[in-house]
Amino acid sequence: MRILLTGGAGYIGSHTTLTLLEHGHEIVIVDDLVNSKPSVLDRLEALAATRIPLHVFDLRDEDRLDALFAQERLDAVMHCAGLKAVGDSVTRPLDYYRNHLDSTFSLLTAMARHGVSRLVFSSSATVYGENAPLPCQEDHRPLSATSPYGQTKVMIEQLLTDVAAATDGLKVALLRYFNPVGAHPTGQLGEDPQGTPNNLMPFIAQVAVGRLDRLRIFGADYPTKDGTGERDYIHVMDVATGHLRALEHLDAMPEPARAFNLGTGTATSVLQLLGAFERACGRRLSHEVVPRRPGDVPANLADPRRAHDELGWRAVHGIDRMCADTWRWQSQNPTGYPDR
């Protein structure tokens, strides 16, 4: 298939691009590079040994998007573009609502005009809110969120579900990622956060490479196995394979829109992840326990059975592999992607 991948220069989009190319699909990327660098494309093209068209513009530019759809004969869209800093979304909510909603309106309009009827959307476990029983199951209602970022995911899931129900032939997979971490096994692609990382794995990786002095563990008094927060970390290459399987499944999907958890079903604590990273990089990493981070839940965990049963997908990489690949990426690229 010829696929428009939005946000293809970003963390999830770049790894997904490579997996789709390896399986014989053709990729066209739209990314405005607001949170990524053009040198990602150099890496991708070298790994894939092919040229990958990158169109640098904001998806909200409906005229440019329409022209691109007119020029390319697209079979599907994967919508990974978006802003993703949860805390940032609390301080500038309008930017998040406008970016996420307007981008999706713009895409849906172009898809309708040009007869493209397959869509895979990057949703998030954040739509389960604070009170869903664990492990999270896709049928849980009501969906809710504790940040404007998460609220946009809830709204877009609803929007896509409504539009798919009303549009003959339109099929939408809503992929709810849990905590994507890890990097491409070559160390050539990885997560490259701008500024100080908010998320645990990139923070640990930057401590290991000497960019940050120590990890601050946000609370060791949670009702979890060792008192630190537990999450369902999933290797980004497994997330990429999840996109491939979802795409291949769309035509056979009985419902117009359906949600799938992308998680492992295994909970890992902050201390366990730190221990695994220490094994990967071969040394102890400085850390201290500090008070809980406001808004954090004690634990989160996916029930991944629907994706197993219906997509034939399962996560295959464990926590040691996630840390080893992250370390390879971080140690080979201590300051992230180069400027071109």
Which residues sit at the interface with ligand NAD, rule CB under 6 A?
Answer: 6-7, 9-13, 30-36, 58-60, 80-84, 99, 103, 122, 124, 177, 180
Binding-site partner at residue 241 among ligand NAD, ligand WQD, none, CB < 5 to 8 Å by type: none
Contact between 57 and ligand WQD by CB under 6 A: the answer reads no
CB 153 within 8 A of CB 127: yes
Per-residue burial over 183-196, b = 16 or more CB atoms within 10 Å of its CB, e = otherwise: bbeebbbbbbbeee
Token code pair at residue 62: 């409906």
Contact between 293 and ligand WQD by CB under 6 A: the answer reads yes
Contact between 199 and ligand WQD by CB under 6 A: the answer reads yes
User: What does R_g of the chain's alpha carbons equal in angstroms?
Assistant: 19
Contact between 211 and ligand WQD by CB under 6 A: the answer reads no
H runs (alpha helix) in the chain: 11-22, 39-48, 62-71, 86-91, 93-114, 148-166, 200-208, 236-249, 270-281, 305-306, 319-332
Stretch that binds ligand WQD, among 3-11, 193-201, 247-255, 260-268 (CB under 6 A): 193-201
Binding-site partner at residue 116 among ligand NAD, ligand WQD, none, CB < 5 to 8 Å by type: none
Shortest CB 205 distance to ligand WQD, Å: 11
Shortest CB 90 distance to ligand WQD, Å: 11
Going by their DSSP bridges, the two strands 268-269 and 230-231 should be labelled as antiparallel
Catalytic, 149? Answer yes
Stretch that binds ligand WQD, among 48-56, 102-110, 214-222, 254-262 (CB under 6 A): 214-222
SS3 12: helix
Closest C-alpha to 270, from 207, 183, 210, 176: 207
Q: How far is CA 133 from CA 145, 163, 307, in A?
A: 15, 29, 19
Contact between 296 and ligand WQD by CB under 6 A: the answer reads yes
Rule CB under 6 A: which residues touch ligand WQD?
84, 86, 124, 126, 179, 198-200, 203, 216-218, 229, 231, 270, 293, 296, 300
Indicate which residues carry an active-site annotation. Answer: 149
